[in-house]
Structure 1
Amino acid sequence: MNAADNILTKPRPHLKGPLISWKGIFGALLVFSAKSASASPFPNVSRHANQMFPIKNITGGPVGEIQCYALPYGAVGMISHLFTYWTIAWTGVGRTPAWPFHRTEHGKFTMALSIISLLICIPVATISIHRCRLTWHFVLIGFWKLTTSITQGCVAVHRAFIMHKFKHSASTSATSPMNNTANYQPINPANPQQQQGPDMFKHTSSSQTLQFIVQNYTPLWWLIVYLVGTTIGMVGLIGLIVSDFRHNSNVRSLTYGFVVAIAVLALTTVAYWYKLHLEQNNGELKGLIKAYLQTFGSFFIVLVAAFGFFSPLYSDMVLGAIAQNWSGFPSEENQVLYWTWFGAKRLPMFAH
């Protein structure tokens, strides 16, 4: 047997593992991916996203950032928010905001004005938020103002639905003899001169419906949306004024006044209820528990109410102080969006 036969007949060692290493396959895929990416005709998605939403803020601080904000602030913003409070309050209780002595009776007209207001305010706020996308502070503040407008519109639309629903039910019950809620008064034999005919029925359905509409305050539950938006917006506002708090005395004064006003109202409420229950305390455990619940419950309610009322006014004045524009009148490039928003939010005031 020669050497060649020995090589052929010699047992081969057993190969452990695959002939091609997984590391080699992974490396080849990386090389192929790199070459394919360099020659890919598709645009770079990350580069496009960085152009749309830059990571670095290049707007020049709070004074520069506020130039993109196209919604009312300063004195004009305060007037706008006071009008909004007025509209929500009277619409929520079924009164005409422009003339509170008159009850709101035309549900369709009220709904039309509210929908038109929303259809204008939502796009304007969206444009302002998009313009301020470089800074998250004004994105949150813009969202806050948007929720204020949505709350006002939803309160009015809800009130219009209530009016339409119960007016429809009243008209149905008045025309249906089976559902008529009239009170029948029989003829008094001792009074033969009693008038007979339609007047012998006293229809109370319309008065009952009107009373229910007036006492129905469910539209005010939309204020929860307003409080959520206020909380989110205040986060953005606080983040904005942190860098300017030490250097701007006006911002400091407004902040101190805002905190003191809320604290005084809440603590005054606590003191009132504490004194009231202290005078009426008879030493019973049930009375003590009731005193604690009413005292701390009223404290929480007043705290939330004061926070919701003063926060928009505080934000308007703080933005005016930062922009050094206390009146809040817009620049030439913002005045179209600015006054469009201001006018559209006034439409629900003319519901009647």
Structure 2
Amino acid sequence: MMMNLLQTNLLSIRSDALQQDIPQQELHCYSLPFGALGFISHVLTYYTIACLWFGRKPLWPFKSISNSKFDLVLGFIGISLCIIMSIVTMIKCKNTWQLLVIAVWKLSMSLLNGLTALHVAILYLNRPEEERYLPIKSKQTAWWIVLYIPGMIAGMIGLMSLVVKVAARVPELLAITIAFYSVIGASLVVGILSMIIICYLGGGAPGKVAGTGFLVTVILFVVLSAFYSDWCLGIMLDNLIGTPSSDSSGFYWTYFVAKRLAMFSL
């Protein structure tokens, strides 16, 4: 009984803290995956992109991609649907700039996923006929991540604006925020300490060590920030699983499936 009362009070505090600045109905304008489902979606997206970078079939990574025309169609359909649905979410959230830029962030992730799939398919189509049985070298498609970075930065700014409003009054949100930045900070500290130790011992190349440490920190931030956003939104919207409301479930699952189409690259 006491536990139920405590949970109810915590939910009330969380909701009231956020509604001081943003009405609850505006928070629910966000219809893209978040929470556990958003986390799963991002894991699958990262996996798909990694497979495509190495020219591997996401559903069977032991084999190289070979059916570029089919992949081209899948990539086009997937990216088109994700763009349209992300824009619709932006329009719905136009009065809440934080959620709008988070939707921009998710759009940039969809673009990274879809454009990578399209690029790999085009690379395969442009190969000479006699080379099409060879593994495709598609690592150059990793440059599409440059398109993702600005959207991620904008989204993180919006997310942190929301987090700052309620973190002090929502222990779960504060805990996950501390954990996220602790991991990023630890990576940076390890890089700096490694550089100092190498300089002290007078061996190696401290500049390279520092550069590597910084790069690892940036990669961790880029990768983990998407997961962090999923759980933050789940906590703030009192929906850790991330299940959509009945009136937006069709929209939600269409987006979820559209983003998965690149996984079926053959």
**Smaller-chain TM-score range?**
0.7 to 0.9
The answer as to whether partners of 1:117 and 1:344 remain within 8 angstroms in 2 is yes
Q: How does 1:1-352 map to 2 (within 5 A)?
A: 61=22, 63-166=24-127, 169-171=128-130, 206=131, 210=134, 213-214=136-137, 216-272=138-194, 275=197, 281=203, 291-352=205-266
Name the CA shift for 1:279/1:163 in 2 (closer, same or farther; >3 Å).
Answer: farther
1:315 CA displacement: 0.5
List gaps (5 residues or longer) in structure 1.
1-57, 172-205, 282-286
Q: Deviations over 1:112-158 (max 9, x none)?
A: 11101011111111111111111100110001001100110111111
Q: Tell me the alpha carbon deviations over residues 226-266 of structure 1, each in whole angstroms, 9 at most, x when there is no partner.
A: 12211111011111222112211111111101101112233
Distance 1:255 1:59, change over 3 A: closer
What is the CA RMSD across the aligned residues, in angstroms? 2.1
Asked if the contact 1:141/1:237 (under 8 Å) is kept, the reply is yes
CA distance in 2, matches of 1:156, 1:85: 12
Matched-pair contact (CA < 8 Å) for 2:195–2:207? no
CA deviation profile, 1:285-329 (whole Å, cap 9, x unmatched): xx6xxx232122112211210111010100010001101111110
Give unmatched runs, 5+ long, in structure 2.
Answer: 1-18
**TM-score normalised over the length of structure 1:** 0.66
Code of the residue aligned with 1:117 in structure 2: it is G
Taking CA–CA contacts closer than 8 Å with sequence separation of 6 or more, which of the two structures ends up with the larger relative contact order? 2
Give, in angstroms, the shift of residue 111 of structure 1: 1.1
Query: Are the counterparts in 1 of residues 51 and 58 from structure 2 also a CA contact under 8 Å?
Result: yes
Equivalent residue of 1:150, what SS?
A: helix
Q: Distance in 2 between matches of 1:111 and 1:78?
A: 26
CA offsets 1:184-205 (integer angstroms, 9 cap, x no match) = xxxxxxxxxxxxxxxxxxxxxx
Q: CA deviation at 1:269?
A: 4.1
Shift of 1:70: 0.4
Letter in 1 for 2:209: T
In structure 2, C-alpha distance between the alignment counterparts of 1:305 and 1:267, rounded to whole Å: 15
* Over 6 Å off, 4+ runs: none
Q: CA deviation at 1:93?
A: 1.1
**Alpha carbons of structure 1 residues 170 and 275: separation in structure 2 relative to 1, 3 Å:** farther
Aligned-residue sequence identity (percent) comes to 33
Give 2:43's aligned amino acid. Answer: L
Q: Secondary structure at the match of 2:168?
A: coil
2:9 is matched with which residue? Answer: none
